[in-house]
Amino acid sequence: MRVLVWVALCAVLPAPTFAALPGFEEVRVAYRPSDAWLLDRHGEPLAVVRIDHQVRRLPWVALQDIAPALQKAVRLSEDKRFLEHAGVDWQAAAAGVWGNLWNEKTRGASTLTMQLVSLIDAERQRRGRRSVFEKLDQAAAALRLERSWSKPQILEAYLNLAAYRGELVGVAAMSQGLFGKLPHGLDESEAALAASLLRAPNAKAGVVVRRACTLLKEMQRGAFCRNLDVLAEMSLSNVLRRADATPDLAPHLARKLLDTPGQRRKATLDSVTQRLSSETLRRHLAALDKRNVADGAVVVIDNASGEVLAWVGSSGSLSEAPEVDGVMALRQAGSTLKPFLYGLAFERRDLTPASLIEDAPLSLPTGNGLYTPQNYDPDYRGRVSVRAALGGSLNVPAVKTLVRIGADDFAERLRRFGFDSLIERGDWYGYSLALGSADISLLALANAFRTLANGGRWTSVRTSFDTASVATPRQALSSQAAFLVGDILADRTARAATFGLASWLATPYWTAVKTGTSKDMRDNWCVGYSRRFTVAVWVGNASGAAMHEVSGVSGAAPVWREIMDGLHRGKLRSEPPVAPAGVVAQAIRFEPAVEPPRREWFIAGTERNLVHSATVSALARIAYPADGTVIALDADIPPARQRLAPQLSAVAGMGWQWRMDGKPLGRADQPQSWLPRPGRHRLVLADAAGRELDSASFEVRALREKRGR
């Protein structure tokens, strides 16, 4: 009697009271994978990021791309008469009711269509277990769905929306997550296991195997039951496989740009350039393995558009911290800030590329004591031109230039170049700002050098095509000064004394390039530009650990060079830029001849054909002790070991003498030592005639002897 009532109710039930069911295309379009994909400028996948961590869904799979074995197994397991009924399997429903009357365990009566109704109706999913009337309502909806959807559409949607195992939802996530293959490649055994999961996605492996074996026998594939337990053990216990075949080329930028499930966002990156940069970095870092180098990062920017063509945030598996994005991490800049310092000096007409600066020992008083910069090469070169000082990356001339410019003005100019991480006043960084003590990012550094390539005009970079720049373009440096800096950075002769003529920096096409190494060799930089591209490379350790004997020219420079060569392979050439208006060329010579005659560039109005070198007496100053120095004597150190040795900033002239507190101390061209005693003292440098050339007042303090030893 109950069977007849159930059938009658299903037949006469009025139109469903819930909202109209969506169409197939509406469901397919509304489907959202749990991941988001970053595409390159040509639409090629670069990286995938998991956004929805509640479930694992991969892209929708068309029915023709799903293995026939799985389609058959699901129909046999869930709805044997799927191709025959119109949404409700009346025969199965009657059998289910009869079994309920006699308390017999029978297969459920829900068809694939009825299950699909629940999958596409969020309210039904929320309610969970259903009453008899809700079951009748579901049946009526299934009948209606069958009138607007085709059988292939119903099966396709069901396979894509059903839950299989754990967090795996949909045929794509199931196939790749459990079996490591695409849905079209599933064989009969795998299909049987997958279909057997639909009734109880989290059932134990033994239960799933028994169901799958029964299903295989129905498919006339009973022989495959033999090793089914091994396959189940391997697949069901290993649902953490990578469930997407997208390459992991730009994971750091992907995490930065992607935030919506199912998102497919096109970046400005070029997959060829990204792959070249990543592989080059990893290969060269592997060669430096014994020198305690594990991490690196690369940025490539198109000069004209500001579009980032490569963003390599780490060395991947070589790194102990691959999640750290080396492109955005703040690290000490080293010598890479020197071009902006000299550029500012050129713009202000304080210096020209031909100006001479003394490269000699220097000590400057600070609030924390004396600041004594030293060159990477321990030797000093005496008087050098600015071209040689910048090309050879000499430290003392850079510090002297900062003293002339002023730390506050330099810090403000660096901010105009986009170094927003410099949040303090210049005097907070002090003299070391000239040598890169400030923390910067690789991206900011790359764009600052791109600004030089663009004649001093700064614009922000772009990483995707669907975002507009919010920063206003600005002139960070005059085009004339930017040209002079670029010309020096491209001059292999200017850097030959430090790097040699045949270094990694000497490209067969025009490039302007600068290296840098931070304190204790913790950060290693190489950044430069051609007419079209800017390439910046950082090498070091994400932990901040020091490298072993790795400089900019041996660490980052080989990576920079190989990437730059790859970008200019073929017909693409890089010719020297044309001098802008307001820049003139002039043949010059030096007197005395500290450097050979040459043709030099000048900002109009600063040119000259003869550069006179200042006399020794004009250059030599007391380098140590500097004026205002406080010297503390330690009672634990023997007095003879605490003698003070005066130092000059240049070679002493004939007959020069030292005087301490008005008394002769000895010849200035020979080493002298003085036994300090507490109190205030005055050191004088005098010429052969006794005239005072320079003086320094300082104080000696005695520390109390430690007791209780």
> Which single residue is written with the structure tokens 């998102």?
263
Count H helices and E strands in the chain, helices first: 24, 28
Cα distance between residue 660 and residue 672, in whole Å = 11
Contacts of 179 (CB under 8 A, 6+ apart): 186, 190, 235
> Which single residue is written with the structure tokens 């810090």?
411
At 175, give phi and psi (nearest 5°): -60, -45
Higher pLDDT, residue 471 or 347: 347
Higher pLDDT, residue 238 or 623: 623
- Mean pLDDT over 328-334 rounds to 94
pLDDT at 101 over 50: no
- Mean pLDDT over 244-268 rounds to 91
Quote the percentage of the chain above a pLDDT of 70.
Answer: 88
Higher pLDDT, residue 126 or 168: 168
- Mean pLDDT over 674-702 rounds to 90
- Mean pLDDT over 147-161 rounds to 94
pLDDT at 705: 55
pLDDT at 86 over 90: no
Other C-beta atoms closer than 10 Å to the C-beta of 123 total: 9
Q: Which of 159-163, 290-294, 365-369, 413-417 has the lowest mean pLDDT?
A: 365-369
**How sure is the predictor about 639, in pLDDT bands with cuts at 50, 70 and 90?**
confident
* Whether 390 contacts 342, CB under 8 Å: yes
Give Cα separations from 591 to 79, 302, 354, 594 (angstroms).
99, 43, 12, 7
pLDDT at 384: 93
pLDDT at 459: 97
Q: Which of 381-395, 468-482, 627-641 has the lowest mean pLDDT?
A: 627-641
pLDDT at 706 over 60: no
pLDDT tens, residue by residue, 277-303: 999 999 999 988 888 888 999 999 999
Specify the CATH number for 2-35+60-236; select among 1.10.3720.10, 3.90.550.10, 1.10.3810.10, 3.30.470.20: 1.10.3810.10
pLDDT at 177 over 50: yes
pLDDT tens, residue by residue, 112-135: 988 899 898 754 555 555 566 677
Q: Which of 437-446, 454-463, 598-607, 699-708 has the lowest mean pLDDT?
A: 699-708
Cα distance between residue 208 and residue 51, in whole Å = 30
pLDDT at 327: 97
pLDDT at 105: 45
pLDDT at 185: 93
pLDDT at 469 over 80: no
**How sure is the predictor about 109, in pLDDT bands with cuts at 50, 70 and 90?**
low
Axis-axis angle for helices 151-161, 68-78 (nearest 10):
90
Bridge-based pairing of strands 523-529 and 264-266 is: unpaired
Write the burial class of residue 529 (CB in 10 Å: 0-12 exposed, 13-18 middle, 19+ buried): buried
CA dihedral 228, 234, 240, 241 (to 10 degrees): -90
Contacts of 496 (CB under 8 A, 6+ apart): 391
Which residues sit opposite 467 in a β-bridge?
Answer: none
pLDDT at 242 over 60: no
Q: Which of 153-157, 268-272, 618-622, 692-696 has the lowest mean pLDDT?
A: 618-622
Axis-axis angle for helices 338-347, 479-489 (nearest 10):
140
Q: Which residues in 367-487 belong to E strands, given as ranges?
A: 369-371, 382-385, 439-440, 457-458, 474-475
Three-class DSSP category at 26: helix
Q: Which helix (H) or strand (E) holds 398?
A: helix 395-405
pLDDT at 366: 67
pLDDT at 367: 60
Higher pLDDT, residue 383 or 477: 477
- Mean pLDDT over 324-330 rounds to 96
pLDDT at 15 over 70: no
pLDDT tens, residue by residue, 179-232: 989 999 999 999 999 999 998 898 998 999 999 999 999 998 888 898 899 998
- Mean pLDDT over 155-168 rounds to 93
User: CA triplet 201, 206, 211: central angle to 5 degrees?
Assistant: 65
* Whether 643 contacts 672, CB under 8 Å: no
pLDDT at 78 over 90: no
**How sure is the predictor about 630, in pLDDT bands with cuts at 50, 70 and 90?**
confident
Structural domain spans, the chain: 2-35+60-236, 36-58+250-266, 309-611, 617-702
pLDDT at 103 over 70: no
Q: Which of 372, 374, 383 has the alpha carbon at shortest distance from 619? A: 383
pLDDT at 42 over 70: yes
pLDDT at 391: 95
Fold of 617-702: Immunoglobulin-like (2.60.40)
pLDDT at 554: 76
pLDDT at 6: 47
Report the sign of the C-alpha dihedral through residues 146, 149, 155, 159, in that order.
Answer: negative
**How sure is the predictor about 552, in pLDDT bands with cuts at 50, 70 and 90?**
low
Cα distance between residue 528 and residue 620, in whole Å = 36
pLDDT at 12 over 60: no
- Mean pLDDT over 392-421 rounds to 93
pLDDT at 96: 54
Report the mean per-residue pLDDT for the chain: 87
What is the per-residue burial (b if ≥16 Cβ within 10 Å, else e) of 354-383? bbbbbbbbbbbbeeeebebbebbeeebbeb
pTM of the predicted model, to two decimals? Answer: 0.81
- Mean pLDDT over 440-451 rounds to 98
Bridge-based pairing of strands 168-169 and 163-165 is: antiparallel
pLDDT at 19 over 60: no
Fold of 309-611: Beta-lactamase (3.40.710)
pLDDT at 708: 46
